[in-house]
Amino acid sequence: MLRLAVIALLLANVGYYAWSQGLLKDWGFAPEEQAEPQRMNHQIRPETLQILRVNPSKTSSSSSFSPPPGTATASADGASSAASPPPPADTAECLQAGVFDERQADALRTAAANLPPGSWLLEPTPVPGRWMVYMGRFEDVETLDRKRAELRARKVDHDRAGGTLEFGLSLGRFATKDAAERELANLGNKGVRTARVIQERPDTAGFTLRLPAVTDALRPQFDALRTAMAGKTLRNCA
């Protein structure tokens, strides 16, 4: 039975091959022709069609073309220089310190003698005087402590006067004499009778050190000023 199936399958394959190749066309068995002769009528001037042969030597010469020596390198260098950003500029900043008194200003002038001209200057900065509502001077610490107790009982703020004004008490410090006089009048309303207005500090001349254009190149040279700055530090200009 298996032999008959194999023979039938083989005959079927042979018959299909003969049919597909048109070998049975004379007996009326053949596949339908897939031809469209009408497309030939749509051709435009078919007589001008030419078949050209490629010249291998021209093809190889054009494909092996290379730019003149140095051109590629110059182009690469140009692209590299265009892509790389310019070096950052050495930006300058303005710094200042102070206020310095006359003696300190003289020390700064000496320290800055070898610096480039125009790289530093001392600007006059007058320091206004200061006024105090003062109580004292008391004979001893016991009297001072007793007066403190009285002020606390009257709820009057106070602190040490300091300096040459010890043993005494400050009931307030003010930029003008008028402001100190007004505060003295207010304290009188609280029962304070022995206080008075004094000038704690007179108007004095002062100076501000200004470095208008500090760059990285100049910064090391300004180290010579540090010993003459009396502990004051540089800060950005106001």
List, for residues 67-77, the tens digit of each pLDDT value.
555 555 555 55
The pLDDT of residue 42: 63
Residues 190 and 154: beta-carbon distance below 8 Å? yes
- What are φ and ψ of residue 213, in 5° steps? -145, 80
Higher-scoring residue by pLDDT: 220, 5: 220
With residue 200 as reference, give the H or E element that holds it.
strand 196-201
Determine the Cα–Cα distance for residues 23 and 89; give it in Å rounded to an integer. 91
List, for residues 163-192, the tens digit of each pLDDT value.
889 899 999 999 999 999 999 999 999 999
Q: pLDDT at residue 162 above 70? A: yes
List, for residues 190-217, the tens digit of each pLDDT value.
999 999 999 999 989 999 999 999 999 9
Query: Cα 143 vs. chain centroid, distance in angstroms?
Result: 60
List, for residues 91-106, the tens digit of each pLDDT value.
889 999 989 999 999 9
Cis peptide before 222 (omega within 30 of 0): no
Q: pLDDT at residue 13 above 70? A: yes
Single-letter amino acid, residue 31: P
Of 36-45, 115-124, 225-234, the poorest mean pLDDT is in 36-45
Q: pLDDT at residue 61 above 80? A: no
List, for residues 22-39, the tens digit of each pLDDT value.
776 677 666 666 556 566
The pLDDT of residue 6: 78
- For residue 136, the SS3 value is strand
Place of tokens 């007004």: 182
Count CB atoms within 10 A of the CB of residue 99: 18
Place of tokens 């030597």: 57
Q: Hey, what's the torsion of the CAs at 225, 226, 231, 235, to 10 degrees?
A: 80
Higher-scoring residue by pLDDT: 24, 149: 149
